[in-house]
Amino acid sequence: MALARFGTDGVRGVANADLTPELAVALGRAAARVLGDREFLVARDTRRSGPLLQSAVSAGLAAEGADVVDLGVLPTPGLALVSAVRGVPGVMVSASHNPFEDNGIKLFGPGGMKLTAEVESAVEQAMEQVETAGPSDPSARVGADVGWIAADPTGAETYHKHLGSAIGDRRIEGMKIVLDCANGAAAGLAPQVFAEAGASVTTIACDPDGANINAGCGSTHPEDLAAAVVSSGADLGLAFDGDADRLVAVDHTGGIADGDVLLALFAVDLAQRGELVGGTVVVTVMTNLGFRRAMEEKGIGVRETPVGDRHVLEALDAEGLVLGGEQSGHIIFRNLATTGDGILTGLLLADVIVRSRSSLASLSTGLIVRLPQVVENVAVEDPRRLAGATGVWETVAAVQEELGASGRVLLRPSGTEPLVRIMVEAVSEDQAARAVGRLYRAVEGALGPVPG
């Protein structure tokens, strides 16, 4: 069994190949040993491999004496919310926006918070101990010391009620909204939530079959949603990803609003109402330079973190702030959630639109003047080798010097896939593309492509 390594969002890989049942059992046992709680919540998205891996991680937890509460199919922010309400750890089986062949396991602490890097390291070490002990572990629990596993459908109800209270007594009456549920975890819940809030709801990609999650749909593929919004004359389109922790929106003209635009809208709205605590919004290094300039013009501060909503949350809590997010559509409203929540974000966006008596297109036009941004992924065997690739970093320094203050370069190893991600912002798309090509060749030359 290969040792699992935590990336930016848990352990991830091809289900039953990289992420095997044996590894999931070991991870469950390690999580129980490190977190030390008597009860754990587990949930999953709609992937075919979900029940397989959920059963395995649950078996590992129960083998260490933990009682396991199975919440079934539930968005990641739903698991986090129930974890916070009940004060017990949670385990989410999902690979978020990845294709259905992949799966992943994310761990949450008793307050619904993703684990710190230090705790994740302790879990990895505990997994090594589990593997070393093997089946003849003398500390194995037996009899009444073995944990039980039982289903509990009330977890979904807790999350449903939480979403229903998010906009208080206000309504989004009369709004025509198209929801793209990515054939994922939002499919059974999101349409109800928006209908109960007063919207007229139609759906696409809302029929999960275990293999169609994120397949040409959802927040990473909003093209069909844009077409559906325009053809139906809807006011708004909302696209979730497989586990519904991120959102991309579509306005009535078919224009797409990503996380940068949505975060800017929310920051301005909260600031105007005197509710943007600290007058500051938290973003990651991937956020467009145009966002930073737009916030500066509005008198709103920007705090930058590494990629990953865990880092955004840490910054929010460290400074007592209330709003943060990522370009990908993870947006955290800290007074309402401990993680990105696509359904919650969509509700709050609809509320902003109704209160403004405007449209998403009007609210977002001219809000951010983006610098052209080109992003490219380089497939490599071991992204961790990037840190020591001196020649690559010399190329990065040279490119950044050429761009000057009007551009930006970012290279980072992916925390979820065997990739190095390259991002360049420049005054023109052509200049950015040339810089990306130069960096791509440097990375591939130093780290090598994935063996065919």
Structure tokens at 92: 């989410």
Cβ contact 234:178 at 8 Å? yes
Cα–Cα distances in angstroms (integers) from residue 375 to residues 165, 237, 409, in the given order: 38, 25, 10
Instruction: Report, at the CATH architecture level, how domain 373-447 is classified.
Output: 2-Layer Sandwich (3.30)
Q: Catalytic annotation on 121? A: no
Q: What is the pLDDT of residue 3?
A: 45
Cα–Cα distances in angstroms (integers) from residue 196 to residues 182, 189, 208, 225, 323, in the given order: 21, 11, 22, 22, 26
Give pLDDT tens digits along the chain (452 positions): 444 567 767 899 999 999 999 999 999 999 999 998 799 999 999 999 999 999 999 999 999 999 999 999 999 999 999 999 999 999 999 999 999 999 999 999 999 999 988 999 999 999 999 988 766 666 788 888 899 999 998 999 999 999 999 999 999 999 999 999 999 999 999 999 999 999 999 999 999 999 999 999 999 999 999 999 999 999 999 999 999 999 999 999 999 999 999 999 999 999 999 999 999 999 998 888 899 999 999 999 999 998 888 899 999 999 999 999 999 999 999 999 999 999 999 999 999 999 999 999 999 999 999 889 899 999 998 998 999 999 999 999 999 999 998 899 999 988 767 899 999 999 999 999 999 999 999 999 999 876 65
Q: Tell me the pairing of strands 419-425 and 373-379.
A: antiparallel
Among 55, 96, 328, 414, the one annotated catalytic: 96
Q: What is the pLDDT of residue 197?
A: 97
Can you tell me the distance from the alpha carbon of 285 to that of 267, in angstroms, rounded to the nearest whole number?
A: 18
The residues of the chain that CATH labels 3.30.310.50 are 373-447
Q: What is the pLDDT of residue 405?
A: 83
Cβ contact 51:23 at 8 Å? no
Class of the CATH-defined domain 165-364: alpha beta
β-bridge mates for residue 420, sequence order: 378, 413
Structure tokens at 449: 């492509």
**Phi–psi pair at 425, nearest 5 degrees:** -115, 140
Q: What is the pLDDT of residue 196?
A: 97
At residue 393's C-alpha, the angle toward residues 389 and 398, to 5°, is 150
Domain 11-157 belongs in CATH node 3.40.120.10: yes
DSSP code at position 217: -
**Which of 347, 310, 316 lies closest to 334, judged by CA?**
316
DSSP states along 338-402? SS--HHHHHHHHHHHHHHHTS-HHHHHTTT--PPPEEEEEEEBS-GGGGGG-HHHHHHHHHHHHH
The residues of the chain that CATH labels 3.40.120.10 are 11-157, 165-364
Q: What is the pLDDT of residue 1?
A: 41
**Which of 122, 89, 118 lies closest to 106, judged by CA?**
89
